[in-house]
A and B are shown apart, each in its own frame.
Chain A
Amino acid sequence: MREITYRQALNEALAEELERDPNVFLMGEEVAEYHGAYKVSQGLLERFGPRRIIDTPISENGFAGLGVGAAMVGLRPIIEFMTFSFSLVAFDQVVNNAPNMFTMSGGQFNVPITFRGPNGPAHQLGATHSHATENFYASVPGLKVCTPATPRDAKGLLKTAVRDNNPVLVLEAELLYSSKGIVEPPDEELLIPLGKAEVKREGSDVSIICYAQTVPLALKVAAQLEEEDISAEIVDLRSIKPLDERAILDSVAKTHRVVIVEQDHPFCGVGAEVCYRIQKNIFDELDAPIFRVSQEDVPMPYNERLEKAVLPNADKLVAAVKQVCYT
């Protein structure tokens, strides 16, 4: 039993993959000498040297594209975005070059690249620095998107992403970097497959489908609901794409009621896709309409009180659960 932080778990994943495969390198703003804006790459420069831990200028499009080109000839770049809000400057590389190359070249060039960094609203960073990008990246064929919520998932998913032969986005939860969790010891290989959800808590009355920063929120709400005799099952998607449809349907077939709590915006958000798949496949299993809790459909305000009003929270989630449970 070993408890480490989400940040340490990511650091271990990076170190282990750098150690295992000489084709792996880490590149991004402040990843080397500064040890990462969020200290995820702490100690890596000292251990692996400047050839493999590479600081860049503030040129997201440039270094994301560099990574794609290097991946075309078999290197395995890990490209860190200081936040995924900045990945928008590199949108063309992430959306137009990385995932299209395999198709456009008739299968000649796959792009084994990992884009990683914090994603989603943090705390009072304002509209430009609070983007939850999972729904728009997941809508692009050729990309894979995962959203770890625990240190264990962060380590296992990042390691898997680096070994995948396709472009994978590891969307880390900024507010969870310091959160702790149990992770296997370093001498035990920890790989968590992409596209596999995990039931983080068993329950029988309602399925709460969540990912990333909404997982600890859902777990907290589940404990609260238990006191009111509502048994909530917490399904952590872990990957947005591929989406573990089977796990979602299995849970819903058991509870017959669903709330999806997501950190992105409501319009064309992740929950919309999940919702569609549930009603399409097991409409008859549903005892109530599916509810979604997401951000409000506004650019993120700076004001703390307004920011809280925009984000999913326990009150909103409890209210949604009670609606679908008709209590």
Chain B
Amino acid sequence: MTAMQSAEQRDEVEMLSLMLLIRRFEERASQQYQAQKIGGFCHLYIGQEAIVAGAVAAVRDDDYIITAYRDHAHALARGTSANACMAELFGKETGCSRGLGGSMHFFNRQNHMYGGHAIVGAHVPLAVGLAFSIKYRDEDRVTLCFFGDGAINQGSFHEALNLAALYKLPIVFICENNLFAMGTSVKRSTSLKQIVDRAEGYDIPGEIVDGMNFREVRDKVAEIVDSIRKEPHPAFLEVRTYRYRGHSMSDPASYRTKLELEKYRLDDPITRLRAQLTREGKLTNEQFDLLDKRSKEMVLASVKFAEASPQALIEKLHDFTYADRAKP
């Protein structure tokens, strides 16, 4: 980066850097999972980076974000350190949820990242509650609620959309449509031709954007958020994307073809933003290589940090059940 860059340009390079960090973090997490340093379930975001980067670039730091279980990227995008994220995967005391949450339950209160929720669709009402609090307190924040295409057939999702529309709450429902709910394609799970039509049923304005294009996501979220800040209302975005890896670490993704995967890889969100910036003379190959090198180093350091960190403490086992620490 040079001192001559405008704020917007700097943001884009920073966001590219964030996308690289997410990609390298997930690759390393995958490797550490295979090395059995990480337990439980682990869902990777590789291929979807432009969505959270674009959305976060379009809002203020004090706006609320909440997502489902594919959440490492959202925590990183909200400034949670790679160290705290990796340590959480390792179940360590230094993790972003003290090693008590694990891969699916990343939280960062200070930076308004409200989880990390693992029951499909169950966090959508929580998101509506966050948005409710904004209106109740007469603030001008906005809630971004991320979820996958698998969530849109849950009752909680429908109830939440209806409540948000009924109470005119400031919330953007962002459906990360990666075409598969675990191994079930959208075609086999959803009666609609396109997911965005779900919103219409609740009189919520909805649009489709290309989730492989950082700028398209950012600009659309910015436009919606601007409108919400003027007059609170819900909005819906179907963001079309693709996850390169299986649903979780144990999934070889045999329900889709190599050809399909390759098609999406050619449209890679990082490659695309890099090409845009390079073409416009805002990023050199050397600068890109440096950003990537930094990301890799940061992630490698996070593994070392996680390994060296203490295990979640048995002495504190009962300290996080009740907020007042009384043990019933």
Contact = CB atoms under 8 A, between A and B. Distances in A.
A164 B325 CA distance: 12
B155 A103 contact: no
Contacts of B64: 73
A242 interface: yes
Given A66-B125, A66-B132, A93-B122, A108 B100 contact: no
Interface string B103-116: 00101110000111
A6 interface: no
Contacts of B122: 65, 92-93, 96-97
A59 B159 contact: yes
B319 interface: yes
B323 interface: yes
A68 B97 contact: no
* Most chain A Cβ neighbours within 10 Å, of B130, B155, B323: B323
Interface string A198-210: 0000000000000
B320 A106 contact: yes
A51 B138 CA distance: 11
Interface residues of A, number: 46
* Most chain B Cβ neighbours within 10 Å, of A64, A101, A104, A112: A104
A291 interface: no
Contacts of A241: 328
Given A70-B130, A106-B96, A166-B322, A64 B107 contact: no
Nearest to A165: B323
Given A62-B160, A69-B132, A70-B136, A102 B322 contact: yes
A110 B35 CA distance: 34
A189 to B, nearest CB: 20
B101 interface: yes
Contacts of A120: none
B328 A105 contact: no
A141 B132 CA distance: 27
Contact of B124 (A56, A65, A109, A141): A65
A105 B130 contact: no
A109 B160 CA distance: 21
A68 B129 contact: yes
Given A62-B163, A69-B125, 7 more contacts: A57-B163, A59-B159, A63-B125, A69-B127, A69-B133, A97-B119, A101-B115
Contact of B166 (A51, A57, A101, A107): A57
Contacts of A112: 323
A57 B126 contact: no
A75 B131 CA distance: 12
B6 interface: no
Contacts of A117: none
A57 B162 contact: yes
8 contacts: A51-B136, A56-B163, A57-B163, A72-B129, A72-B130, A97-B117, A106-B98, A106-B101
B126 A107 contact: no
B105 A105 contact: yes
A72 B163 contact: no
Contacts of B66: 69
Contacts of A75: 132-133, 136
Nearest to A105: B107
Interface in A136-166: 141-142, 144, 164-166
B324 interface: yes
A36 interface: no
